[in-house]
Every structure is written in structure tokens, then in C-alpha cells.
Structure 1
Amino acid sequence: MSPATLLAVFVAAGVATFLIRLSFIAVEGRVRLPAWFRGALQFVPAAMLSALIAPDLLMQDGALYLSPHNSRLLAGIVAVFVAARTRSVGWTIVIGMAALIGLQMLQ
């Protein structure tokens, strides 16, 4: 892919993302969204984060990898427990990464 094509893809993706986000801001106050829709919006960040992280934790080489040797999955489980216990993003990242590095060093 040429640099110009790659730049065009990045710019188009950025503009599309901006317009999607702007659409919710622009209609705020003008359109009354149903209560069920507003309630569902609170789950969007968690759903998006899960969709980004789950494949990296659960898959290896394009196949499901549920094994006690899957260091990413084990570190992810540790991070979930830390997040639930501390409610701290910082501690979750630090302890989760330390668990991942430690588990990878053991393999």
C-alpha cells in the first residue's frame, strides 16, 4: 500500500469517527432519545473494551486457546480481580502487566 493511500485511509477513518461522535453531540437537546436507549448507552464503553481485549486473551494463531499455559488469559483474570477489588485503573494496569511479564518469564 502506498503512503498516499495509507494516509487517505487514516484521514477517512478519522473523519468518519469524528462525524459519528459529532452526531450524538449535535442532536443533544434537539432529539429526545428513549429511556431504554439512554440506559443502554452506559454499557457501550465496557462492550467496546471487551470486544477489543477478549480476542487477544482467548485466541492464539487464529484458534481458541483456553489453557493453563495461556499467560495472557491468566494475567487478564488477575487484572479483572484487581479491577473489581481496587476500582483503580492504574493498579489494574500495573498488576496485570506484572502478572503477564511474570507468567511469560516462567514459560
Structure 2
Amino acid sequence: MMRTEVVITIVAMAIATFFTRFGSFAIFGSAGISPRLKRFLKHVPTAILTALIAPTLFAPQGYIEISTGNSYLIAGTIATLLAYFRQPPLVTMGGGMVAMLAIRSFGI
């Protein structure tokens, strides 16, 4: 069974997400969004994703580790290269996971 703190956190984040989306409809519903704000908001998902992923790639042990011993960084680099060369998301994610599995299994 899940711990109480985990359930409370999940429910609180669901409520926060709901009210954030509902609030944006209430604020911008009839007026619309200016082109300048629309350009700004276009980059928010990329910024959030980067903020979530970067610490795991560069500091998996709690300190910055840029070396060949950092399996997260190697697998992330492979996934980044696949994405850069316009591979479909499934190929990009699969490539990163296969790289991590190979590194972990064979100690590459």
C-alpha cells in the first residue's frame, strides 16, 4: 500500500494542476492571449523539462559528474543525438533506454 505522504502529494499536485488550467481559462478565456505572451508560453514546456532532467543527467549522485562513469549522462547524450537527428520520440526514448540498459548490464 502507498504511503500517506505520497498519496497526499499526488492529490495536491492534481488539484494544483486543475486550478492552474482552470485559472488560465478564467483569465484569458474571453480576452485571448497576446502574440508576445503566446511566444513566451511556447518555450515553457522545454524549460520545465530541462529543469527536471538536467540535475539527473549532470548530478545523479548529488554532485556534478561529467565523466564516462556517469551512465545517465551517456544515455542522455545518445537520446539527445537521436532527437537532434529527428528520430521519432519512440526511437529516441528507446535508444536512451537501450543505452542505459547496455551500460548497466555490460559495464560499458
TM-score (norm 1): 0.83
Superposed counterparts of 1:4-19, under 5 Å: 7-19=7-19
Pair 1:87–1:28, CA change in 2 (3 A): farther
- CA shift in 2, pair 1:8/1:32, >3 Å: same
Give the gaps of 5 or more residues in structure 1.
none
TM-score by length of 2: 0.82
Aligned-residue sequence identity (percent) comes to 30
Residue-pair matches, total? 105
Q: How does 1:27-106 map to 2 (within 5 A)?
A: 27-106=27-106
Between stretches 73-82 and 27-36, larger displacement belongs to 27-36
Moved over 6 A (4+): none
Change (3 A) 1:82 1:7: closer
- Tell me, yes or no, if the aligned pair for 2:60 and 2:72 is still in contact at 8 Å: no
1:29, distance to aligned residue in structure 2 (A)? 4.0
| Cα RMSD, aligned residues only | 2.0
Per-residue Cα deviation, 1:69-103 (whole angstroms, up to 9, x for no partner): 11110110110110111341100011111111112
2: CA distance, partners of 1:60 / 1:9 = 23
Q: Which runs of 5+ in 2 are unaligned?
A: none
